[in-house]
Every structure is written in C-alpha cells, then in structure tokens.
Amino acid sequence: MAKYDLDLFVIGGGSGGVRAGRVAASMGKRVAIAEEYRFGGTCVIRGCVPKKLFVYASQFPEHFEDAAGYGWAVGESRFDWATLIANKDKEIARLEGLYRKGLENAGARLIDGRAVLVDSHTVRVGGETFTAEHILVATGGRPNPHVALPGREHCITSNEAFHLEELPASIAIEGGGYIAVEFANIFHGLGVKTTLIYRGREILSRFDGDLRKGLHEAMEAKGIRILCQDIIEQVEKQPDGRLAAHLMSGGVETFDKIMLAIGRVPNTEGLGLEAAGVETGVRGEILVDGYSRTNVENIWAIGDVTDRVQLTPVAIHEAMCFIETAFKDNPTTVDHRDIATAVFSQPEIGTVGLAEEEAGKHFEELEIYRASFRPMRHTLAGRQDKMIMKLVVDAASKRVVGAHILGPDAGEMAQLLGIAIKGRLTKDVFDRTMAVHPTAAEELVTMYQPSYRVRNGERV
C-alpha cells in the first residue's frame, strides 16, 4: 500500500505548475493540482497573453498612418474598447480550456480551490485533505499593493487594467519596469493621454543604457510624457471622480486613472508554509536551492513565488528541471544565465546576455558593435523612428556576451540571438554568417568593426 495518496501535489495552476503537473502525470505519477482562481496563471489570465493582445490593438493607429506612404487610402477609423475586452476574454477562456484539457488528458486531478499546507506531506483544499510524497509550490506573484501610499485604494494595477469598463481619457502610470513601460505604450496607442512617473534616473533599470535612452526618446516623440526622479506621494479622489496625484516634486496633477506598476510580490501569505517548516525571505519569497528545493526536502517551489527571475519561460524551465531531479533520477540545476527577453514597447526591445554597463564589471576590455538606422519599413511611411542594434563582445575571447535591439520585431530576433549567446559563440562566427537581405536583422552579422571599446568599465 502506498505511503502517500499522491506522488505529487502542485499548488498553483500557472505556467510552471501546469507544466510540472502535466509532465509528471504523463509519466504515470499520481498527480493533483489545485488552483484557486483560473488555470493558466498570471501569464495567460492577466499577464503576458492579454497584454500582447492589447499591444497589437494599440499599434493599429501607426499602421493606419504608415499605410498612406505605401499607396493605401485608409478611411476614418474608430476604436471600440468593449469589443477588444470581449474578444480578449474569449481568447483567454479558450486558452484556459486548453490548459485544463492538457492536464486532464495526462491523468492529473484538477482541484478548483485554495490549497494550504498542513505539514510537510499534507495539503488541505476546502474540506478535503491529501498526502503527497512531493509538494510543489507554484503560486506566482501579484502586483505590489503599495500599501504605504495614501489613497492607493483609488488606483488600479495591471490586474484591473485588463477589465476596465471604459477607456479613460487620461492615465498616470507609476513605475519604470516592463509592465509600466508596456502599458504606457498600450494606453497611448489607444488614444489615452498618458504620463509615466518613475523614481529612477531612467526607465528600465538593468537594461542596456543605449536602449533605455533610445526608448525614452522614442516614447516622448510619440507623445508619452515621462517624469523621471519623481514619485506619487498621495492620491485623492475628487468630487467628479477624477484622481489628484500629489508628486514628490511638489506639483498636483489630475488624471482619470492612476495605475501602480511598481513591481510584484510573491504569493505566499496564508499557504501554511510555517506549518510545514518552509523558510521564506524578506519579501516573502520561498527560499530554494539550485534545484528549486526548499529547506524541507520534499517541498519544492518554482516561478515567481521564489522571486528569482519573474518570467514565464523561466518558470517552465524550472518546472522541467524539477521533473528531471524529482522523478527521473537526473539532478538538474536551473540555469538562469543569458535569458532572452523582450519588452513589448513601441518600439520594441529584445535583449539577451549582459548589458554594456554590467559586462564592464566582469571583463577587462570590451568591444562594442553598435548601429543606429531607420529600418526600411519606415522609409516610405516617413516615420523617423530609429533602430538600435548592439553587440557586446569580450575583447580577449571574442565571445559575444550580450546582444540588444530596439526596433520592430526585436523580440523575435532576441529569441534566435538567445541560441547564439547561450552557445557562447564568438564574433567571428557572426562575421562568417551570411546576411539575409534586405532585413533589419542583417545588421547583426555585418558590423565588422567595433564602434568603440570599453576598458575597466569606461568607454575609450
């Protein structure tokens, strides 16, 4: 008789939890997975997927403008927010159904409810209790509620942005990371007067400096107002329903909506982690080793709840490493190096590897290959947006340690560049690679001479 009811109990039905549960079940393991809201998690339900659909919607005004240069006469256009929301909701429901079907087909048991740890091998969902040899916590994260901000109850987060009853005439977005920047571009593209407020010197900290500056300039040129080195200190709701934002710089500005996008925090409250003896960090994140194992031998955690790298593909990769380690007798550590990623701003950012500033801390001398040009698609349209492409190369080994792109389809290019960077290819390999012409991406293999060098962190 089996010692436990299950081989694996997964808490959280997001990308990481679903992948781990589905693969384990397909191996014949006895698996149950509990989700208190909707299967698919942040990415599918209220993150990457609906956000990308909003990005597509917000790009059409520029497409309509550009069409004239190519001989098209586009008639009067009209945007309907309710139609976008309805179609988005329909697609999200379809994807959630696929997640459920995949788990069911693999043989996993789906439980709709909040799971709480009772001890290191026991989980309770509602009035039902389960024991499991392994427990995997994959409960993700949520927007930072900014509880210290007076009046924060009048503000929205990215969660609510996907379900607004109507599009506001104006919005202020506080933050300077992925979510803030992407939503600033989305709302602006949909016709909303948009202001981005960020406490730092420049948006998108930890990204390459040239891309940060280039995107900032491009966003302002489009009409997005960006206030750096400022914060909202208080929000007041006025009699007409609009919101007054008191800024650290001393001004008071009024908006229809204020969105807080100042990071995300792990979902660990009320999970029973203390009862099971699982250690957490200062932000509430579950502490794990390189194999995603907690301090309790049979309890594991992956994805945003560990606050390592908050990206969907990372959670999925961590899930697969967990499967190898826990069920295939093949201990596999998670490799968080050289993760390709994109910011779906307008223009888009695609990046992988080290930024110039970070690489300068690790290598004595760098060669920087940089090109800035107007992509062909903008020439007949008359659009002045510039594209930036940049390769960061270790001068000693000639290995390309970073690649950074600002411009159309940058995210698509970053995915393929990720293979080259992960494969530790040298600049010589790039130089020997023939270009695909005419494309913007060909610039990546035709920059033969460095634009400048960096020694001991300083450009020379």
Structural domains present in the chain:
6-142+265-327 (3.50.50.60), 152-262 (3.50.50.60), 341-459 (3.30.390.30)
Q: At what angle do helices 178-189 and 209-222 cross, to 10 degrees?
A: 20
pLDDT reported for residue 1:
55
pTM of the full structure? 0.94
Distance of alpha carbon 37 from alpha carbon 283, whole angstroms: 23
232 close to 172: Cβ distance less than 8 angstroms? yes
Cα within 13 Å of Cα(351), Cβ side: 24
SS3 state at 453: strand
pLDDT reported for residue 457:
85
- Residues annotated as catalytic are 437
350 is in an annotated binding site: no
182 is in an annotated binding site: yes
Q: Which of 142, 143, 138 is nearest to 16 (CA)?
A: 138
Q: Which helix (H) or strand (E) holds 402?
A: strand 400-406
Structure tokens at 36: 């208190």
pLDDT reported for residue 39:
93
pLDDT reported for residue 2:
73
369 is in an annotated binding site: no
SS3 state at 456: coil
For the chain, residues with pLDDT lower than 50 are none
429 is in an annotated binding site: no
